[in-house]
Amino acid sequence: DAGVTQSPTHLIKTRGQQVTLRCSPKSGHDTVSWYQQALGQGPQFIFQYYEEEERQRGNFPDRFSGHQFPNYSSELNVNALLLGDSALYLCASSLSQGYYGYTFGSGTRLTVV
């Protein structure tokens, strides 16, 4: 049973560019959340998707957007990249009913130069 899969694992982008990160949730999970983790800090909640809609959002600018597909997979898009966007981006999946724990992927390491 595959867990949460994220791609790519590493990425280097230039300031001002746009990036798309991808996430496939754990089998059977229907909710996807995204987190940003700067070096040495705990993960910070970006937003959550359920039924292809953004259900919750953390304190992140509109440059951060997302999408969820009918198969529950998700994308995180970041526009106009800043140096400060360099971080580990984590995807976590969960169930909308029943057990409410989260399963995390290993993340995508984004470096903005």
Partner 1 sequence: DAKTTQPPSMDCAEGRAANLPCNHSTISGNEYVYWYRQIHSQGPQYIIHGLKNNETNEMASLIITEDRKSSTLILPHATLRDTAVYYCIVRVEAAGNKLTFGGGTRVLVKP
Q: Which one of residues 32, 64, 105, 112 is an interface residue with partner 1 (CB under 8 A)?
A: 105
User: Of 79 and 103, which CB lies nearer to partner 1 in the complex structure?
Assistant: 103
Which residues have CB under 8 Å from 55's CB, separation 6+?
31, 47, 48, 49
Among positions 43, 72, 85, 110, the unique one binding partner 1 when judged by CB under 8 A: 43
Rg of the chain's alpha carbons, rounded to an integer? 13
Residue 25 half-sphere exposure, CB side, CA atoms within 13 Å? 25
CB-wise, 3 or 79, nearer to partner 1?
3
Residues lying near partner 1 in the complex (CB under 8 A) are found at 4, 31, 33, 35, 41-45, 48, 50, 55-56, 58, 90, 92, 94-97, 100-107
